Amino acid sequence: MKQYTVAALPGEGIGLEVVEATLTILQKVAAKHNFSLQINYGEIGQAALEKYGSYFPEATSQICDRSDGILFGAVNKGGLLELRQQFEFFANLRPVKTHPSLKSERGFSAIDILFVRELVSGIYFGASGRGEDERGNFGYHTMHYYDWQIERIAKIALEKAKQRKGLLTVAHKENALPHLPWKKLVLEVAREYPEVTVEPMLVDNLAMQLVIQPQHFDVIVAGNLFGDILSDLGGALVGSVGLLGSASLNESGFGLYEPIHGTAPDIAGKDIANPLGTFASAIMMLEQWGEHEAAKDWQQSWDAILTEGYRTQDLYFHDSEILINTSELVQLFLRKLNSSFIKKKSNTLT
């Protein structure tokens, strides 16, 4: 029996709830598909600062280093950027896809977009600070990229586009930021991918086009800041940011798996957080491990539950739907997984 080690970093706010819900389902899926899990918890964020004096302490880093994947919840301020940089999780994959039942109820277009976001450089990691001159106090953050960092994420995005519909949109702002030549560098790398059509687009126009005609897009590659904002817009396109998960991978394929939402302190502890984004992230982790049947099984349970009309508070739209809380949703998934196991076993016997 294969065994995988998971570093669980719930963090703060609803991160605590969605990670625990996900681990409950993950353990069920593992037992059903004949692999085992070792779960090691680590502190990150405010709790880590209070306990260790650091948002991302060495103890947590070591837990992550000894794992096959990191399942992350949410933090309000510190720890996440340090975690991403520590393990060079440069390639952030954020799928945005409509579910058929949500599409029909709300009139959404059929959307299937993969955002490929560069994650360890750009404005979040450039020189920054506060200063003062004769005009007053000021602050600054520097958007810094090496050409090789842009080329590296371009290759990931081009590979993904090659495997999908063959269209890669490049988010850039070269008219105002000419020294960050995303358009030029991605087009140069794309010479090695003649089957992919590359479509450079100014990021402000891209944001507008995502609202007007989201079904046009396939893969979108973007820097850290633009990718962060555009992929969050994707949550509105499919029903809720609570639906969206992500995988952040380094060169070796080691990954960090996290929902794209924040800590949501206004609903934390009320048993109403949507764990589906964390479920989606865990499904991506299973895929990365090669546990494709387990990932498919979990996804089928997800599809069945949404099709039957069950909704967490952020997805609840009208009275014909069934409003449920976080713990009820977890129990639904457990029952679905168990019933599909019984059905599969019965079919095997016959």
Rounded to whole angstroms, the Cα distance separating 134 from 114 reads: 46
Q: At which residue do the structure tokens 């820097």 appear?
A: 223
Same-fold call for 1-94+241-350 versus 109-238: yes
Q: How far, in whole angstroms, is CA 182 from its chain's centroid?
A: 23
What's the one-letter identity of residue 318? H
Cβ atoms 259, 281 nearer than 8 A: yes
Among 98-112, 234-248, 272-286, 298-312, the range scoring the smallest mean pLDDT is 98-112
What was the pLDDT predicted at 251?
Answer: 96
Angle (CA) 256-245-182 rounded to 5° is 75
Rounded to whole angstroms, the Cα distance separating 188 from 161 reads: 16
Q: Where are the domains of the chain?
A: 1-94+241-350, 109-238
Cβ atoms 169, 208 nearer than 8 A: no
- 109-238 topology per CATH: Isopropylmalate Dehydrogenase (3.40.718)
Rounded to whole angstroms, the Cα distance separating 36 from 22 reads: 15
Q: Is residue 212 pLDDT above 50, yes or no?
A: yes
% of the chain beyond a pLDDT of 90: 88
Q: Is residue 347 pLDDT above 50, yes or no?
A: no
What was the pLDDT predicted at 106?
Answer: 57
Q: Is residue 345 pLDDT above 60, yes or no?
A: no
Domain 1-94+241-350 CATH superfamily? Isopropylmalate Dehydrogenase (3.40.718.10)
Q: Is residue 116 pLDDT above 60, yes or no?
A: yes
pTM of this prediction? 0.92
Residue 159, φ and ψ in degrees, nearest 5: -60, -45
119: exposed, middle or buried (Cβ count in 10 Å: 0-12, 13-18, 19+): buried
Which residue numbers are catalytic? 124, 173, 204, 228, 232
Contacts of 148 (CB under 8 A, 6+ apart): none
